[in-house]
Structure 1
């Protein structure tokens, strides 16, 4: 390989000499960017799929727990209805039996249906009866707020610190 004469080392390159390497470099950079983009897209899709699957599993577990709880509550209500009936309270026992039957039916419905079916049924009901659906969601919100408020620990207060000095027996 021969070295160029010193006079050519300081001469600027022509457009054809510089265009080829930078065009090849730009093309390589584009290809590398496409490969990275495709790999990131694949990783994002896999992460999304894993997250969705975990969410489905969690929802299925909670659906099963809710169905069991409703079934247990329905059975307890049915037992209470039988007790009321034996005590001569047939009218109240009748209402309790109706509620127990509805709870047991709802429990069975939750056990047998898939999550997608439950979603579509709720969507269909909300479209047919928006006032009932919104009212029910309002009541669920109130119940959830009361539950959260009731489960919140009360702050510890020292009442002797709140009293004025002359009324506080601890301070002299």
Structure 2
């Protein structure tokens, strides 16, 4: 019977060790998530402040007292206030509020998250500073199955001869 008590003692120690490891992993994960969230919070505040500075610069370039200058100035002030709120927001409260909203309105939350993800992706693509950018590639239709299709030539029966320099089109 000594073997059984020894085995159960080893099992209990292994369970305790596994439980400690799980707690350590959870603590590490929470710390990492918090650090990333704080980093994202600072970045969002910085982006909002940068847009506010751009709107302020645009307002200073417009005629003083004009409707456009006033609108740009108000936009700059609103964005700066938003940046300050984001910068000083209590992260735990924001997460709780977001979680509560998601529970009350799951479809709206998912739709908003998808829309926000789409907008962020478009924004990041538009602002990416890729040194290999080639504007000529924008007109490259080699991967587009409709890229070589010319609606005008298809309608006049002149397939394959649309937009070719030096050719004339028959207009009926």
**Equivalent position to 2:15, from 21, 24, 37:** 37
- Residues 109 and 141 of structure 1: is their aligned pair in 2 closer, same or farther, counting only changes over 3 Å? same
Q: CA deviation at 1:144?
A: 3.4
CA deviations on 1:70-121 (whole Å, 9 max, x unpaired) are: 11210221121122133x6x22222222221221111101111121122234
Q: CA separation in 2, counterparts of 1:137 and 1:120?
A: 16
- SS of 1:85's equivalent? coil
Q: CA separation in 1, counterparts of 2:107 and 2:15?
A: 47
Q: Which runs of 5+ in 2 are unaligned?
A: 143-172
1:130-145 alignment runs, 5 A limit: 136-145=112-121
Q: Which runs of 5+ in 1 are unaligned?
A: 1-22, 160-172
Aligned to 1:58: 36
Aligned to 2:76: 100
Give TM-score, length-normalised by structure 2. 0.61
- Residues 149 and 125 of structure 1: is their aligned pair in 2 closer, same or farther, counting only changes over 3 Å? same
- Residues 148 and 71 of structure 1: is their aligned pair in 2 closer, same or farther, counting only changes over 3 Å? closer
Q: Highest relative contact order (Cα 8 Å, sep 6+), 1 or 2?
A: 1
- Residues 97 and 122 of structure 1: is their aligned pair in 2 closer, same or farther, counting only changes over 3 Å? farther
Q: CA separation in 2, counterparts of 1:143 and 1:38?
A: 46
Q: CA separation in 2, counterparts of 1:111 and 1:84?
A: 29
Aligned to 2:169: none
- Residues 100 and 48 of structure 1: is their aligned pair in 2 closer, same or farther, counting only changes over 3 Å? same
Q: Which of 1 and 2 has greater Rg?
A: 1
Bigger Cα displacement from structure 2, 127-136 vs 50-59: 127-136
- SS of 1:48's equivalent? helix
Q: CA separation in 1, counterparts of 2:50 and 2:108?
A: 26
- Residues 109 and 77 of structure 1: is their aligned pair in 2 closer, same or farther, counting only changes over 3 Å? same
Q: CA separation in 1, counterparts of 2:54 and 2:124?
A: 25
